[in-house]
Structure 1
Amino acid sequence: MTSTDLARRVLTALIEAGVTEVVVCPGSRNAPLSFAAYDAAAAGLVRLHTRIDERAAGFLALGLTKNHRRAAVICTSGTGVANLHPAVLEAAHAGVDLVVVTADRPARLRGTSANQTTDQVGIFGPLVATQDATGGIDLITGSPVHLNVPLDEPLLPDDRWAPDVVPGEPVHRAVAASLTTLPVGPRTVVVAGDDAGPRARVLAEQAGWPLLAEPSSGSRTGDSAIRTYRLLLGSDLGERVERVVVCGHPTLSRPVSRLLGREDVEVVDIGGSWGAWSERPFPVDGRVIGGVGVDEPDDPTWLEDWREADRSVSRQLDALLAAERDLTPHEVAGTVARALPAGGLLVVGASSPIRDLDLMVPRYDVGARRKVIANRGLAGIDGTVSTAIGAALARSSTRSFALMGDVTFLHDANGLVIGPGEPVPDLTIVVVNDDGGSIFTMLEQGAPPYAEQYERLFGTPHHVDLAALCAATRTPHWRVGSLPELEQALASPNGGIEVVEVVVRRDNRRDLDERIRALRPSPGAG
């Protein structure tokens, strides 16, 4: 089989498996695959994207796939493959069925010092199975797939390909369905982590239990959602919890982690394993695969106690932030959350922004189709710009926002390098710029005894001119320093990708966080 024939066979398998988006990075060894992808796009079978940076390309494909448009990323051999590793690891730990297609040298050159030749079989580790594309291709999955394609010369086709392919739908391995009824009685809360989906909200509302939902859970809607849950877990209400029902992948909050680790709390896990691992990082007393419900609502007093306490702490939090002389990151997050219309998309960066959003996002209306996405598989800051662009390209949204810190933005500034004629979404990227990494000020290393080492090792000020950086890629940029300016910028999109830089302080972040964490319900509330 020639390399051209093999490449066309691979593209056929991708299309039949429901791949509709193909991201290609330039290279010589992957030329047969690139030509086949071009012809498939010309035939209207896939949408083609090209990127010069494999890491950005991988996260672009990840963002496309996270928003239900199955994507494949294609690259050449050598270090280009290694640069896909961060996106592949994120996909593996988040259970995203990303397809990675890597061109390889022919078998006769493996184990030699031939140019751009390394051991690509199993390069992504034991969490991702590698398939040799010269054998059978299995794309029925719920996790990443690595197709390694050994290609020999000649690498260029002699003709144009007219694909005769019937596009398919993504197929996942079947999981036996069942319905489990949970008894009421124990004081129960529902914890909804990343990608928990609406079933966490439905269960909480059926049972009358408080819903502690992370922003990217897909569950932060309805009357059971508790806005300030992580602050309330440090109050008497948290001590009274007897059972936790967990759905999705909870990663944001140390109070939630402590709750799940308590010996006096029963933990029921809905959905079983998450991503690449079969075990949770906390003890699980019961595991439910399939549907879950209750026969009757629980005592309404328990939920009302949480609601009353939430109203009290929410008022205190809003008053505390409003009293600050300078704009706070929490207010930025809240402003973005409120600006997100029904049918809108919000992609949130790791570190501080998603935690700030967690305290500030309102209870969205059920059915309003607001979608919040975050890379919580490994919760890294890398690839966030590209993930946001991919997610925005994949979804027909009324408005698309991304919220991230300055270090996260700089980490994937290459994501803004998009060639002429490439698909470009309408996306407003809000960058909260405190000139460094504020997340560490709230952790142990930010304590006063480590002040001498802190700024150099963790604060990492960079003094980058974001306006100049955006100008280099012809990306429109606005710099704002007040809430009215931010509200105006968010209300006046110009189309395409644009960056709104919001300047905030970092030197007071630890003190602000300590005052927020000290908030408790007013006497009598909860």
Structure 2
Amino acid sequence: MTSADANWNHFWSRLIISELVRQGVRYFCISPGSRSTPLTVAAAQHPQARSAIFYDERAAAFHALGYARACGKPAALICTSGTAAANYYPAVIEAAQENIPLVILSADRPPELRDSGANQTIDQVKLFGAYVRWFFDLPAPDGQMDPAFVLRTVDRLLAHSDSGPVHLNCMFREPLAPEDIRLPEGYNQSIQRWEESARPWTRYEKGRTILNEETLNAVIRRINQAENGLVLLGRLNPNQDNEAVVQFCERLGWPVFADITSGWRLSKDLPHAIPYYDWLLSAEQPHFDTVVHLGGRYVSKRLMQLLEKNKPQLYYHIDDTGQTIDPVSVVTARLLVAPDQFCRQALPLMADRKPAQATLHLKNRSEKVGRILDETLHETDALNQPLLSRIVSELLPADGALFLASSLPVREMNWFGSAGKNWLPVAANRGASGIDGTVASAAGFAAGLEQTVTLLIGDLALLHDLNSLLILKNNEQPVIVIVENNHGGGIFHFLPIVEYDAVFESFFATPHQLNFEHAAKMFDLPYFTARTPAELRDVYQQTLKTRRSALIEVTTDRSENAKLHKTILQRIKERL
């Protein structure tokens, strides 16, 4: 008998972890706890399981979310009973909203201790409600049940995980440590074929959905006949076939509005891209008769308002998740196929087009906006928030990636980012658009990509996830944190509440006078400040060379930032 099978708890836990590994789950985010001991030991002893330890379950869950967002494969979370799993909830919601795989293994008390006043015991049954794609309450291990049942349950769990989070609640009785209690002969006989192989008990094979020929022909015929079309790139997975998307945009000739989370907004290689479309929509209101929306959500509020006001006759939303992304009720057809797969299927049927007149017109005006931005943002030697976004977009290394906090940073990179790079992975937690877990998510994104990640984050989001700076110290892949410290909630300066002086500062802007030097020191992270564009460039490039995580703090003024936005908007309207 091996130590892993010292008792029923550890035998079942070995089955769970081994089957997860055989199904391709190799990354385990573990938070220490007693009731989860059998699961933790099984993960720690598996030679192919890669484990990371987290003191805070909320950070663990967001880290796992960032990892899966990057590579498309789920990480497994392991936690003890009680409120530990409840700390996963914000990340579970984000994963559900964005259809990101996530496997939750929560330990629990056995039935006789539930609803009994036993310590560290809450109702964990269906804890995450409708936000998980599948839930199962696994009985406490014993010798009466066929161990094949455990393997089959894990396989069913993973079969549902490709579209979002899943939850396996695992009951354990004591002893929880791997104490040697003699198990009966032949206790694993029913799974002998599994024990003697490296294959999963049951493999679920899922093919990629393709459109049938009749539907595809009808869609492409209408696209070919459209006179004034638009391609909208929403959030796209980093591991998709980019070449198919590029060829589709090139062949179609329509203007392309690329959201920052598509990975294409900062690229110089996307055909017919209109990088500053958000600013253009403040000066003119083009009407598109047909929209092809590839992928998920998009950030631009002006674009959403345009589509609501000038509803297109045809609006194809092409995404394989089946999720409704239609806040202004414009979608006329949903094609449940991956965007890159649709592009590959469509290309042989598409007519070769010259760039549309709308493309040439909008591209010319977008270039003018770029010149206005450069002129306006460099009128002072000091760093401001829009200039910070622009400089960061120019400095990103070709083999790097970008993670953006979901409040002002993601919006400002969409507005001000320069389009001079190759494609690179860009992500933000925009499913539920919370500010929690941003640092942990960025660290997970780096782990999943196995690349250096630059994180652009505001001061309040960093304060909210300050303890996750510890993850950066231990992360194999560096995360360079650039914090825009405007001493409060800068986003509120763009909302109507800014006019109400009696409540604005204290209850919405929530000012503080903190900086992050001592936080960086506490977590043993190199700390730098930058006050000018030259200082930012120098510090950032030095940090890249060290291959270490670091924190760079840039102090800006909330009120001045809002005024600068108004100046830019006024100049664009006057000059276009």
- TM-score for both structures, normalised by structure 2: 0.83
C-alpha distance in 2 between matches for 1:18 and 1:269:
34
State the percentage of identical aligned residues: 30
Distance 1:427 1:299, change over 3 A: closer
- Please name the residue that 1:126 is paired with: 130
- Please name the residue that 1:378 is paired with: 432
Distance 1:53 1:305, change over 3 A: same
Q: How does 1:149-168 map to 2 (within 5 A)?
A: 149-158=170-179, 166=198
Q: How does 1:425-464 map to 2 (within 5 A)?
A: 425-446=477-498, 448=499, 450-464=500-514
- Please name the residue that 1:249 is paired with: 296
CA contact (8 A) 1:313 1:521 kept: no
C-alpha distance in 2 between matches for 1:100 and 1:170:
20
The letter for the 1-side match of 2:210 is: A
Structure 1 gap segments, 5+ residues each:
none
> Aligned-pair distance for 1:520?
3.3
* Partner deviation per Cα, 1:283-317 (whole Å, 9 max, x = no partner): 21122233143333265322110110101111112
User: Aligned-pair RMSD on alpha carbons?
Assistant: 2.6
- Of 95, 98, 111, 1:94 maps to 98
- Where 2:271 maps in the other structure, the secondary structure is coil
- Please name the residue that 1:479 is paired with: 529
- Please name the residue that 2:191 is paired with: none
CA contact (8 A) 2:394 2:420 kept: no
* Partner deviation per Cα, 1:236-284 (whole Å, 9 max, x = no partner): 3x33333322122234121111123235323523334757x44632321
* Partner deviation per Cα, 1:214-253 (whole Å, 9 max, x = no partner): 11113333132212111112333x3333332212223412
C-alpha distance in 1 between matches for 2:325 and 2:439:
31
- Please name the residue that 1:223 is paired with: 271
C-alpha distance in 2 between matches for 1:84 and 1:59:
8
The letter for the 1-side match of 2:261 is: S
C-alpha distance in 2 between matches for 1:171 and 1:434:
50
* Partner deviation per Cα, 1:119-141 (whole Å, 9 max, x = no partner): 11211121212123455222023
The letter for the 1-side match of 2:551 is: V
C-alpha distance in 1 between matches for 2:391 and 2:197:
47
Distance 1:51 1:380, change over 3 A: same
- TM-score for both structures, normalised by structure 1: 0.90
Distance 1:468 1:396, change over 3 A: same
CA contact (8 A) 1:65 1:98 kept: yes
C-alpha distance in 2 between matches for 1:38 and 1:263:
57
Q: How does 1:405-420 map to 2 (within 5 A)?
A: 405-418=458-471
* 2:502 paired with 1:502: no
- Where 1:131 maps in the other structure, the secondary structure is strand
Distance 1:298 1:463, change over 3 A: same
CA contact (8 A) 2:29 2:75 kept: yes
* 2:453 paired with 1:400: yes
C-alpha distance in 1 between matches for 2:205 and 2:166:
12
Q: How does 1:287-302 map to 2 (within 5 A)?
A: 287-290=334-337, 291-292=342-343, 293=346, 294-297=350-353, 300-302=356-358
* 2:47 paired with 1:6: no
- Of 14, 17, 23, 2:29 maps to 23
C-alpha distance in 2 between matches for 1:172 and 1:505:
54
The letter for the 1-side match of 2:59 is: A
- Of 392, 404, 408, 1:348 maps to 404
Distance 1:249 1:127, change over 3 A: same
How many equivalent residue pairs? Answer: 511
* 2:231 paired with 1:186: no
Distance 1:264 1:251, change over 3 A: closer
CA contact (8 A) 1:317 1:519 kept: no
Distance 1:244 1:8, change over 3 A: same
Distance 1:127 1:391, change over 3 A: same
Distance 1:95 1:506, change over 3 A: same
> Aligned-pair distance for 1:369?
5.1
Structure 2 gap segments, 5+ residues each:
1-6, 140-148, 181-194
- Please name the residue that 1:206 is paired with: 251
- Of 67, 73, 77, 1:73 maps to 77
Farther-moved stretch of structure 1 (453-462 vs 255-264): 255-264
> Aligned-pair distance for 1:106?
1.0
CA contact (8 A) 1:223 1:363 kept: no
CA contact (8 A) 1:201 1:224 kept: no
* 2:198 paired with 1:142: no
The letter for the 1-side match of 2:65 is: L
The letter for the 1-side match of 2:20 is: L
Q: How does 1:273-288 map to 2 (within 5 A)?
A: 274=321, 277-278=323-324, 280-283=326-329, 284-288=331-335
Distance 1:359 1:278, change over 3 A: closer
